[in-house]
């Protein structure tokens, strides 16, 4: 059956490279693997008072999208050496309700990018740690960090073959994790 992935962009802006990388990846994966791109613009700030089985609509939509996916790809920019507030907020919503969060046990691949030369590796490390706290099954290798992202994507496609293959290798590791989990559940 077709693998269903959810790509969450950690940047809200229209011209986001994080979103552009996900769109390029969606095009490269189709039709064998389905990747839905989720933007966080309508997700409110996490508030534990509203953390019930009926949270605000934007949070409910995020949780439902994570729950419906076999695995998630978190594409994040680096803001001041960490992940964006929007992405951290998304993981917080996905980690709850306590012990029943949509991210618990969910295979997750972290992808960071930056116009700069570090590729957002500090945000990558931080986001991995946060995701492990949330109970996600974080793909440990490869570390998908894309430096100089302006030269790597354009018009909804990868413009650099090495970058495309690097990212596809990460998705392959995610799909392997999904299949291992499925066979363990069946055993």
- 88 versus 137: smaller Cβ distance to ligand FNR: 88
Part of the chain binding ligand FNR (CB under 6 A), chosen from 95-103, 114-122, 128-136, 168-176: 114-122
- Whether the CB-CB separation of 115 and 150 falls below 8 Å is answered with yes
Please report how close the Cβ of residue 63 comes to ligand FNR at its closest, in angstroms: 23
Please report how close the Cβ of residue 170 comes to ligand FNR at its closest, in angstroms: 17
φ, ψ of residue 108 in degrees (nearest 5): -140, 135
- 25 versus 175: smaller Cβ distance to ligand FNR: 25
Q: Residue 60, SS3?
A: helix
- 65 versus 148: smaller Cβ distance to ligand FNR: 148
**Applying CB under 6 A, does 7 fall inside the site for ligand FNR?**
no
Interface residue with ligand FNR among 7, 77, 94, 101 (CB under 6 A) is 77
- 4 versus 122: smaller Cβ distance to ligand FNR: 122
- 13 versus 179: smaller Cβ distance to ligand FNR: 13
Long-range contacts of 131-135 (CB under 8 A, 24+ apart): 131/74, 131/91, 131/103, 133/95, 134/91, 134/92, 134/94, 134/95, 134/101, 134/103, 134/104, 135/95, 135/101, 135/103, 135/104, 135/105, 135/106
**Applying CB under 6 A, does 114 fall inside the site for ligand FNR?**
yes
Distance CA 137, CA 81 (A): 23
Please report how close the Cβ of residue 124 comes to ligand FNR at its closest, in angstroms: 11
99 pairs with which residues across the strands? none
Q: Give the residues lining the site for ligand FNR (CB under 6 A).
A: 11, 13, 16-18, 77-81, 114-116, 118, 120
């Amino acid at each position: 059956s077709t693998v269903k992935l959810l790509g969450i962009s950690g940047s809200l802006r229209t011209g986001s490279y994080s979103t552009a990388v996900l769109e390029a990846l969606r095009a490269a994966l189709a039709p064998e693997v389905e990747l839905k791109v989720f933007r966080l613009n309508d997700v409110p700030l996490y508030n534990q008072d509203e953390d019930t089985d009926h949270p605000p609509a934007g949070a409910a939509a995020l949780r439902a999208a994570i729950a419906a996916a076999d695995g998630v790809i978190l594409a994040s920019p680096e803001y001041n050496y960490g992940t964006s507030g929007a992405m951290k907020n998304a993981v917080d919503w996905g980690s709850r309700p306590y012990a029943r969060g949509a991210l618990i046990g969910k295979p997750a691949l972290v992808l960071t990018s930056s116009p700069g030369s570090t590729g957002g590796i500090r945000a990558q490390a931080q986001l991995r740690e946060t995701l492990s706290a949330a109970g996600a099954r974080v793909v440990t290798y490869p570390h998908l960090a894309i430096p100089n992202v302006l030269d790597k994507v354009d018009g909804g496609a990868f413009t650099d073959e090495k970058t495309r293959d690097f990212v596809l290798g990460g998705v392959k590791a995610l799909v392997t994790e999904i299949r291992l989990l499925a066979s363990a559940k069946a055993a």
